[in-house]
Amino acid sequence: MAQAATTMTLAELLKQTVDGNTIFKEKINDIAYKVNAAGYANENLSARIAQKSVNVIFADEKKLTQSDGCNDCEIEGNDLLSLPTILAYLWENVVNNIEKEGKNIHVLRAAKAILEAILRRKTYLAQYCTLSSVKSSSKEKDSFSAFPDLLLSMNDKTCRKAELMTPFIVIDCKTPGKLLIFNNTNDNLYKIWRSRGKMVITERQEGSMKIKKFDNKFKLLDPVLQIAGYMVLSGARVGMLLAYPRMVWFEIVKINEKKNIFNIKVYPLLKISSFEHGMLEIVRILKYASNLEPNKKFLRQKVDKKEEEVGCEEKKEEVVVFEEKKELRAKKRKFSTLQSDEKKIAKKQK
């Protein structure tokens, strides 16, 4: 009798999981996706940060290092047995769920389970989190609350209204039609972003010119400012708009703290072709994001005592070390002074 494998690569495990369960081949219920799939965004952009605070960089596909990849990551031990069962359960919910948020949240939970098996440690997810006391710009006086669908963190420290203290990624769920605007060249995306309302752009396809008309730029402006706001407010370096089988991800690459200007890269629209392809792509991004240090939270009006305590925990050790070094330097100076005085006395005695 052949001995069962004690370790497998993620790619091998995903293939075996899909081959062993028909749920991964079933058609996804898309009722929720057909409802208002490409409707107009809210033009007043409520609960969004100001466009002037965001310097958007429409980038090419990010070239991640080999260590950021996950195809060849080894899955071992109990995860070899439990992971296929967990993925099948979650994917059944994806197939049958008729709510866009619920559908995409189960997609993310499946990727989270894989990430934990790869990292061999637990991650923490906050669903429908409240980001309170936030502002749309540094000059804004009135505050409001923002509500990202998902925050994911490497620890369970919380602040404010059960908000994860140091999330490495923030995710908002959409219908696939909402992301069609990103299915454009970087040049056209820049034109749409900088436009002042109605515009016409042209694309050359197979020798002919194809004209596309956009009534307004809010189809692009609204989702970008929404996820950018969540990233800036929560401190997450990476954000994602998840609309399975499409997704777009974002990364804060530079911050001008004096002017509160955030340089954010927008990576190309990803079109997922299969369960294995989707999991590998999402987990790759999660793994990359999990290795980034979070930013501090910007455009927040209030800091409660609990947040101050949590935020200062990591600084306490630094303060202790600083004080110890300060005391040691003082002792060295005193000892040096004593040595100098002794030398002077010895010189006089001679």
275-290 vs 100-119: helix crossing angle, rounded to 10: 60
- Long-range interactions of 124-127: CB distance < 8 A, separation 24+: 124/152, 124/153, 124/154, 124/155, 124/156, 124/164, 125/150, 125/151, 125/152, 125/153, 126/150, 126/151, 126/152, 126/153, 126/158, 126/162, 126/163, 126/164, 126/167
What band does 36 get if pLDDT is binned at 50, 70 and 90? very low
- Which of the residue ranges 145-149, 178-182, 300-304, 341-345 would you say has the lowest mean pLDDT? 300-304
Q: Which tops the pLDDT comparison, 137 or 288?
A: 288
> Diameter of the chain by CA atoms?
102
Q: What is the DSSP string of 227-257?
A: HHHHHHHHT-SEEEEEETTEEEEEEEEEEET
Q: Note the pLDDT tens digit of each residue in 260-317.
A: 899 999 999 999 999 999 999 999 999 999 999 999 888 877 655 555 444 444 444 4
Q: For position 267, what pLDDT does the model report?
A: 97
Query: How far separated are the first and last CA of the chain, in Å rounded?
Result: 94
Q: Note the pLDDT tens digit of each residue in 91-114.
A: 999 988 877 788 899 999 999 999
Return the residue matching tokens 């299969």.
Answer: 274
- Which of the residue ranges 112-126, 198-212, 293-307 would you say has the lowest mean pLDDT? 198-212
Q: Note the pLDDT tens digit of each residue in 12-26.
A: 999 999 999 999 988
Q: Note the pLDDT tens digit of each residue in 153-180.
A: 999 988 776 788 999 999 999 988 889 8
- Average pLDDT over every residue of 121-140: 79
Q: Which of 85, 125, 90, 115 is nearest to 104 (CA)?
A: 90
- Average pLDDT over every residue of 188-201: 77
For residue 204, the one-letter residue type is R
What band does 194 get if pLDDT is binned at 50, 70 and 90? confident
- Calculate the CA 242 to chain-centre distance: 11
3-state secondary structure of 266: strand
Element (H, E) at 329: helix 305-349
Surface-to-core class of residue 146, CB atoms within 10 Å of its CB (0-12 exposed, 13-18 middle, 19+ buried)? buried
Strands 167-173 and 238-243: parallel
Element (H, E) at 164: strand 163-164
- Which of the residue ranges 102-111, 191-200, 322-331 would you say has the lowest mean pLDDT? 322-331
pTM: 0.78
- Taking the C-alpha atoms of residue 305 and residue 309, their distance in angstroms, rounded to an integer, is 6
Q: Note the pLDDT tens digit of each residue in 59-70.
A: 999 877 766 778
- Residue 41 backbone phi and psi in degrees, to 5: -75, 165
Instruction: Provide the mean pLDDT of the chain.
Output: 80
Report the b/e string of 244-262 with b at 16+ CB within 10 A.
Answer: bbbbbbbbbeebeeeebeb
What are the CA-CA distances from residue 1 to residues 4, 76 (Å)? 9, 21
Across-strand partners of 329? none
- Taking the C-alpha atoms of residue 275 and residue 279, their distance in angstroms, rounded to an integer, is 6
Q: For position 319, what pLDDT does the model report?
A: 44
